[in-house]
Every structure is written in C-alpha cells, then in structure tokens.
Amino acid sequence: MVQSGNRGIIRRRRVLQVGAGIGALQFASPFIIQARGEQSVKIGMIDPLTGAYAAVARSEVEGAKLALDQVNAKGGILGRKVELLVEDSANDVGIGVQKARKLIEGSGANFIFGDVNSAIALAVAQVTAEKKVLHIVTGGHSDAVTGTDCHWNVFRVCNSTVMDGNAIAGVLMSKFGKKWYFLTPDYAYGHSVQAALVKQLEAAGGKWQGSLTPIGTPDYSALLIKAKAYKPDVIVNVMGGGDQVNSIKQYVQFGLAKQIPMGGTLFEYESVAALPDDARSGWWTYEWYWNQPKTPHVADFVAEVKKRTNQVATARHWFGYVGVHTVALVSNQEKTLEAPKLAKALEGFKLPPEVALTPNPAIYRAGDHQLMSDVFVGQAHPKKAGGDPNDFFEVTDVVPGEKAAGPVAGCVLKYPA
Amino acid sequence: MKLRPDIVGISLILVLAPFWLPLVHGYEALGTRVLVLGLAAMSLNFLLGFTGVLSFGHAAYFGLGAYGCGFALKYLAPSTPLAILCGMLLGTIAGALLGALIVRRRGVYFAMVTIAFGQVFYFIAFRWNTLTGGDDGLRGFSRQPIDLGFTTINIADNLTALYYFVLVCFAIAVGLMGLLLRSPFGRTLLAIRENERRARFLGLPIEQHIWLSFVISCAFMSMAGALYALLNNFADPKGLHYTQSGDFVIMAVLGGMRSFWGPLLGAAVFVVLQDSLSSMTTNWQSWIGVMFVIVVLFFPRGLLGFLRRKSQA
C-alpha cells in the first residue's frame, strides 16, 4: 500500500497525541488508587436532585448530611470515618440504575440510599439485591417497595401509600361522615391510595363517588361542580405535586372551602410552604412534623436543620437523617458491614428516641422491612397571627405505624443462600 | 478489501473498552450505556442525517422495544434473544403502521406528528397499570444467560459478558445500517435529503423511501430499547417520553448528524458528561445545554465534523 506524504504526517501527529494522552493517564491513576486505599465507610445516596422532585430530594440529602456529621463526631462506623456520596438520578430510571452501579462497583459504596421516585427505587433495589448491598429507600412511597417487590436487603423509612391512606380514613370518617367524593389522579399512585381509602370506607358502610383526572389538569372547575352536586361529607383529594396545589387553590377560590371540607393523604411541607396563605386548608397526613413540643430531641433536630439550611425541618430531612443513623447504629451494634447480617439485625430494630423523633417508638417491621413510624394527621391552616410563621398545620391525631400499615401484604422475603 | 482506518480505530476502542475504562475512572455499565444510547442515536440519525427528516418522537420506539423485551421475558419465555426479537417486532410494527400515516408530512409538521404519536405510547405505558406497571415501571424480569449450544454466556451476572454481548448486537446493527447506506437504496435516501423535488422529478417514489427509512430506523431504535431494558432489568414510561426523544436528537446533533459515527461520539460525550458532571453539580444540564448551543453555533457539522476538518487542515 502506498502512503502519501500528507497521511504520514497525520499519523505521526496521532502517535504524539496518543502518547500525550497515555502520559496524562499516568497522572490520573495514582489518585484513583489512593482513593481506594482510604478506609472510610461509604454511603451512596441516589436522589433526583434535578427535575420535579428536586426540592424534596435536596431536603433528604441535607438531613442525611446532618446525621453524617453527628455519626462522625461520635467515631463513625466501626471506628471508620463515614462518607456520603450523593448522586443525581435526574428522575430517570436508567440514570438511577447506572449511578447505583457506579457507586457500588466504582466507588465501593457499603450502603445505598434512595430514591424519591418509586420507579427508580424499585429498579435500584434490583441492583442492590444482586450486589448484596444494604439499601434504605428514604422517600419512595409506592406500596410495591415493601410489598410485592420487596427484597431482603431493602428497608424503607417513609410510609407506604396504604399507610397514609389508612391513617387519614378513620379521622375523616369520625370527623365528617361517610359520604366521600374522590379527586384522584389517573395513574398508579392515585389508584392505590384511592383503593386503600375505599376499602376502609366501605368496611365502615360508607358510600362514595369520584373522578379520575389526567395528570397535569389545569382546570378543576367542572370536577368541583360535580363534587358539590354529590353533596359529600368530605372531598378526598389524592392528587400529587402541582396538581394538588392547583386543585386546592381552585377549591378555595370557588368558596367550597367554607361548605365542604377537603382531605387527603400526603401533603408535603415543601408543597404547603409554596402555597399562598389562603390556600392552606384541608385535612392531610404528614409522615413527620416539626412542631412536636412534647416529644424529646425534636427541638434540637429542628434547630440544627435551621442552623444549617435556614429551612424548617420537614419529613424529607427526617428521612435522610433516620436513614444514616439506622445504618450507623446497626453496623456498630453488629460490628460488621455485611449486608445479610445487618438486614437480619434490622428486622424488628427499634430506633432510639433521639433518632425516631416521634411520640411512639419507630420499628423496622420484620415481615416487610417497612419502618413503623407515627403518621401525623391534622388540618392545614393559614399562618396564625402571633404564631410561628412556619406553622401551617395542626396535628390532631397521631396514628401509630402498625395501626396504619395493617398486616404485611404481598411481601415474601428471600434471603440469599 | 481495504481496511478502513476509522472502522478499525472505533472497533479497537470499543473491543478494548473493559480494559481501558477502569483507568479513566469508568466502569462497564457506563460503557454499555454509551453503546446502547449510541445505537439509538445512530438509528435516529439514519432518518435525520441520511434521509433528512426530523423525528421528535423516536423515544416511543425505543420504549416500545424496552417494553416488548420486558413482556417477553416476563410473560413468554426466559430467553434473551427472543426478548430482543419481541422488542424489535413491537417497535417495528408500531413504526410501520404510524410511519404510513406520518410520511406525507414534512419539516416541522413531521416533527409535531411524531411527538404526538410518541406521547400516545407514553400515556398508554403510564396508565395501563395492570400490564405495564404504570408509573412504577415494568419490573420482575431479568436478562437470561445465552445458550449457544456448546457453551453458555452468562450475561445475567457478568457485566463484561453483557458489554460484549451488547457490542456484538451493536456491531450487527451498525454494520447493517452501513451496508444499507452504501446500497442504491441508501444513495436514494441521500438524494431525497439533498433535493426532494428533484428526486421526485426523477421518478423516485419518495413516500415509500421515507417510510422504509422510518421503519428501518424504528427497527434499530427498538433494538436499542430492548438492549436498554436488558441493561437495567427494567422498563419505565419515561423511556417513551418526548424529552427522551430530545436527548437522542441532542446526541445526534452534538456528534455530527452528517457523519455515520457522529451520533456515537455524541452519545458518548452526552452520557459521560451526564455521569461525571452530575456528580459535581446539580446544574449539569445547563452545561450540556451550553455545549449544545456552542456546537450548533460554531461547529454545525458536530464534534466529529470539527475533528475531521481539523485533521484534514
């Protein structure tokens, strides 16, 4: 083959470029080896720091960081420093799975946390189970996580949708009555919450009607008129995110708030805080609430979060906080980082009061690895004159986790041989 | 046959990836992801770069491939090749039917109609809870080892084996695309891209050609989707969403849509940036956006076009 002179020059340049590239690698590699040599315990946290859940995801990370500093101040895990490696899942299952592999295989993470998005939590759980890494689902609410798709290595801090539904159902029936109208988003989450609520209602002999609404509906006037015509004792709103905010705003604007009470399951502090003052209304559940004057240690936690982030502590801060303390406590108790032993030890594990921060004890249930923690039921209200400007909610009932969760459903735990 | 230096170079880089990836802080799952998304971007580019029509709903066929693959593994039989075939069938049939409705549109109308059809599939996947798992995604299936008769390749647990399996699929798909583009059919597509009216005056059946190009593109796209489902052991509705289609277009344009290998480079840059930048800053998407704008403004032929021109200068 005859080469022209011109090509030869390019080739020589290529050789030089490749050589320079290889040379540069020599600088890079020692750092990698050094990083592996450090004996810190690594917690990999995957959360959607960008996208629709960014606000709540950041709260979870802040809570985890707070707990991390506390754990490190007390000597870390097994005397080793603990590191938190935070990765953005960008609300995308593919990226979430990839980040899980990156954390486990690339960085050697000993524990995996996440995700706010249940689909990502479920997909990452498959990876962590395969890799035998203890996995704490901090904030994904789908029933499947500790239900039909539960894994031996997966524990969940936040409630399942059924727990939230069961907790509010009794309160709504006793306070208002047994004739309900549902505003339900037409997808998996909405269906499962409505099913949980209807089951309770029908068991008590109640009746109901409802509308399934597409996600992203901007106008609820027709639905609210239909709801009013049914003359329900209560309108049950199980919408999520922006739809929840919009539907509540319109419910208040149409003056329905003065005629028919509204209730529903989750109404996260981050969402309520974003509402105009007069739209803060209705009966909801919180998975944790900051204003618990009688519960010890809560005030310290709230003050610490305030000091670090200048924000009010929310359930999401608490999820991250509980997650980090859980793995630190159980590892130090068992003196190991082996996931199967830790998972066994976490079954029935009771959180100490300074971690639980709830009136009743919080325990990881052995049957499905769901944390049994109190559900706070109460009424949202506008800022009270002279009251704390961050207090939008009055807790009327605290429903213990076991009562809200009911028996273990659909979960069969299979430990590796 | 002469050995083409670009093919030899790319083959060497890809075949040796499991050996050099750890040196640059990479990992095999990342390499596999680059291959899968690269195949998707190259399939899109078959239509965008070589036929000259922009589909903004190609994620639908990517997602259909993923769901088809998942359904086959979950409900039909535990066989990986069958699953890939089912994924491709689902995506290709949908592409063939819808393509017939779309091909008469041009330009922005073509793009709009493809988005609309794409979103139809997104909402089906999102809302048909009993079949697709809805918002929680389709799970409960896993890739199966491949039985070759004389030996079994364990792609289920061994990620290196999975990488090479995906690489073989990638090579077959890309080889076929390359052959098609060098054939008279491929030349005709280029003629349509350059001047549709003139091609029509030459008596070429334009609509049939665009339709066939659309179907071929969908077939390889759904193959990429099926491989993606195998990589994640999961299929989720977001894989069908138009934002995912936008990512594919970005990869193709970033790398260079007039060159065959451009979209692969684009996908590699996109995935690696996504992986590394997102560990450092939550504003990583703006950086990818800035890079996209710079490429469009200053290097209209994409990164590969820029590199080529530099090496020729």
Say yes or no: A32 contacts chain B, CB-CB below 8 A: yes
CA–CA distance, B174 with B180 (Å, rounded to integer): 10
Q: Is residue B76 part of a domain?
A: yes
Is 80 exceeded by the pLDDT of residue B23?
A: no
Say if A41-159+293-373 and A162-286 have the same CATH topology. yes
CB B192 within 8 A of CB B51: yes
Is 90 exceeded by the pLDDT of residue B11?
A: no
Total domain count, chain B: 1
Q: How far does CA B107 lie from the centroid of its chain?
A: 21
Q: Is residue B281 part of a domain?
A: no
Q: Looking up tokens 């008129």, which residue turns up?
A: A225
Q: What is the DSSP letter of A360?
A: S
pLDDT 10s digits, A120-136: 899 999 999 989 999 99
Q: Is residue B227 part of a domain?
A: yes
| Chain A residues closer than 8 Å to B278 by CB | 49-50, 87-88, 90, 95
The pLDDT score that the predictor gives to residue A43 is 94
Strand residues in chain B grouped as ranges (E): 146-147, 152-153
Neighbouring-strand partners of residue A213: A185
d(CA A295, nearest CA chain B) in Å: 35
The pLDDT score that the predictor gives to residue A38 is 52
The pLDDT score that the predictor gives to residue A386 is 76
Residue type, A322: V
pLDDT band at A21 (very low <50, low <70, confident <90, very high): low
User: Is B30 within 8 Å of A102 when comparing Cβ atoms?
Assistant: yes
What are the tokens at A205? 């002999």
Length of chain B equals 313
Neighbouring-strand partners of residue B146: B153
Domain formed by A41-159+293-373, architecture: 3-Layer(aba) Sandwich (3.40)
Q: How far does CA B153 lie from the centroid of its chain?
A: 24
Q: Is residue B106 part of a domain?
A: yes
ipTM of this predicted structure: 0.81
Greatest alpha-carbon span in chain B: 59
Give the residue from chain B lying closest to A150, CA to CA: B140
Q: What is the DSSP letter of B281?
A: -
Is 90 exceeded by the pLDDT of residue B153?
A: no
Strand residues in B176-220 grouped as ranges (E): none
CA–CA distance, A246 with A250 (Å, rounded to integer): 6
CA–CA distance, B283 with A355 (Å, rounded to integer): 32
Which of B4, B12, B122, B232 should we substitute to test contact with A (largest number of A Cβ atoms within 10 Å)? B232
Which of A36, A83, A86, A95 should we substitute to test contact with B (largest number of B Cβ atoms within 10 Å)? A95
CA–CA distance, A370 with A347 (Å, rounded to integer): 9
CA–CA distance, B310 with B308 (Å, rounded to integer): 5
CA–CA distance, A85 with B38 (Å, rounded to integer): 28
| CATH number at A162-286 | 3.40.50.2300
User: Is B135 within 8 Å of A92 when comparing Cβ atoms?
Assistant: no
- The model carries a pTM of 0.83
d(CA B278, nearest CA chain A) in Å: 6
| Chain A residues closer than 8 Å to B126 by CB | 187, 215
Question: Which position has the higher pLDDT, A387 or B249?
Answer: B249
Phi, psi of A90 (to 5 degrees): 55, 25
Neighbouring-strand partners of residue A395: A378
pLDDT band at A27 (very low <50, low <70, confident <90, very high): very low
- Name, in order, each residue with C-beta under 8 angstroms of A376's C-beta and a sequence gap of 6 or more: A285, A286, A287, A288, A289, A395, A397, A398
| Chain B residues closer than 8 Å to A28 by CB | 23-25
Q: Looking up tokens 């009562």, which residue turns up?
A: A403
Could you give the strand order of the β-sheet that contains A393-399, starting from the edge strand earlier in sequence? A207-213, A179-185, A234-237, A262-266, A283-286, A375-380, A393-399
Q: Is A164 exposed, middle or buried, given 0-12, 13-18 or 19+ CB atoms closer than 10 A?
A: buried
CB A249 within 8 A of CB A279: yes
The pLDDT score that the predictor gives to residue A383 is 81
Say yes or no: A204 contacts chain B, CB-CB below 8 A: no
Domain boundaries, chain A: 41-159+293-373, 162-286
Domain extent for B175: 27-255+262-269
CA–CA distance, A146 with A196 (Å, rounded to integer): 16
pLDDT 10s digits, A357-370: 999 999 999 999 99
The pLDDT score that the predictor gives to residue A26 is 47
pLDDT band at A31 (very low <50, low <70, confident <90, very high): very low
Say yes or no: B6 contacts chain A, CB-CB below 8 A: no
